[in-house]
A and B are shown apart, each in its own frame.
Chain A
C-alpha cells in the first residue's frame, strides 16, 4: 500500500496527475503587477481551472502578505489590514465562495478601489482556499481530529507612479565571520535587490566576491555578512558594496580595512 501511495505521490509531482486527497486548482496568473493612480478603479479576473473529476468548493478572499526576517525571500500571509501596505478594504473579489466544476473553468473578478491619497506600494494575495473533510466525531472519550485547508493564489503588487524608492547602506562592522552590514528601506515600496560585495587587495585584485538577495518591505532593515577568506594575507583591503535598486541609482559604499599579523581586522574608513 505504501508503495502504491508513494507511486501516486510521485505521479502527482512528476507526471502532473491529479493528487490524492486534494483536487487541484490552477490559475492563469501567479502574480498581478500594476502601476496605479490614486482614485483609480481596477477590475480584473483570475481564471481557475479544476483538472480533477470532482467538483471543488473554493473560497476566495484577499489577505496581506509580507517578507519576513532575515528577508531572504521568505514570505508569510497576514490578516487583511494588518500591514502598513495592505490592500485593506479597497480590494474585493466576487464570488467569494463557489463550486468549481469538475474539469471546468471559472473566473473570479477582483475589484480594487485605489485610495485617493495612495502613494507607494500596496501588496496582497488573493487566496483560493479549499479544504478537507472535517473528521466525524462521536463524542466518546477523548476524541481527536484535524481538518486541512490548502490555499494559494496570485500575489498582487500595486505601486503608484509617485512611489519613493530610497535605501541606505548602514555602517559596516567587524564580526567573527568577517564584516557585517545592513540595508534599510527608507522608501514606500518593496525593494527586491541584490547586494554585491567585492573585497579587493592593494593591487585592485578581487579576493572575494559575495552576493546577497534581499527582499525588504518599506521601513525594514536587513543585515548581510561578508566572510573573509581564511587565507587572507595581512595587508590593506577595500570592501566595495553595491546595492542595485531597480529604477533608481545604485548605492555604493567603500570600506577600507586592514588585517595585521595577529589576524585582527580593523576598519580604517568608510565612505558612501
Chain B
C-alpha cells in the first residue's frame, strides 16, 4: 500500500515537473515525504554454518528455524598452540546473527535497544551457564557503498563484544545509517579472534558437566 502511495506521489511529482518544463514556467516544486516512526522492532535470526573453520568467508547463512538459537550438541575440538601446548574445547557447528529491524517505520530517535540474558538453565552441579560461555558481538551493520546492496556486501562496524550475561544497551543513535546486528557465539578463547573474547569468558571444556545448557535473550526497545 505504502509503495503504491509512494509510486503515486512520485508520478504526481514527475507530472508536475514535466508540466513545468513544457510550459517553460519555472516554479519551485516542493517535495516532502513523511516516514512514520517505528513502534516495533523485529529480530531476524540467522543460523550461520561455520564449516568448522574460523574463516568467515566459507560461512553459509540460513534462516534459523523458529527464530531460536539452536547450537545443537557441541563437539570436542583439539589442537596444539604455537607453544606446543595442547588444547581441547567443545564447540558447535553454528553461530548466529540477530538483525534488528524497525519494520513499521523509521528508526526512532531517543530510543534504546536493551539486550538482557535470563532463564539460565544448566545441568545440576554445573557452576556456570551460557551467560559465561557465550558472547554477543554488537555491530552497526551497513552498506558502505551504493552498489554494496546489489553485491550483498555488508560492513560490520563492531561496537563491542560482551559476555551474554552482561547484556547491553545500544542507543539508536549508535546505529544510525545502518542497523544493529548481534553475533551470538560460544566462547572459543581463540587469541586470534577479532575481537577477542571478553574477560571472564569461559569455554565448554571436557571438565564441564554434560547436559542441556539453555537460556533466553530478551531484546527490548524502550
Contacts and interface: CB of A to CB of B under 8 A. Distances in A.
A144 B218 contact: no
Interface residues of B, number: 67
B67 A5 contact: no
Given A12-B42, A140-B73, A141-B73, A5 B216 contact: no
Interface string B92-115: 100000110111110010111010
B69 A145 contact: yes
Given A12-B103, A20-B63, A150 B216 contact: no
17 contacts: A1-B62, A3-B152, A5-B44, A6-B152, A16-B105, A19-B103, A20-B44, A72-B171, A76-B114, A77-B114, A77-B220, A77-B222, A137-B212, A141-B210, A145-B212, A149-B218, A150-B218
Interface string B160-201: 000000000101010000010000101000000000000000
Interface of A: 1-3, 5-10, 12-13, 15-22, 24-27, 29-30, 51, 65, 68, 72-77, 125, 127, 131-152, 154-155
A127 to B, nearest CB: 7
Contacts of A138: 73
A148 B164 CA distance: 13
Contacts of B154: 6
Nearest to B117: A146
Contacts of B73: 138, 140-143
Given A19-B101, A139-B212, A74 B169 contact: yes
Contacts of A51: 103-104
Interface centre among A7, A20, A51, A127 (most CB of B within 10 A): A20
Contacts of A68: 169
A99 to B, nearest CB: 17
Given A10-B149, A65-B222, A146 B214 contact: yes
Interface of B (DSSP majority class)? strand
B103 A142 contact: no
B60 interface: yes
Contacts of A147: 68-69, 119, 214-217
A151 B105 CA distance: 16
B46 interface: yes
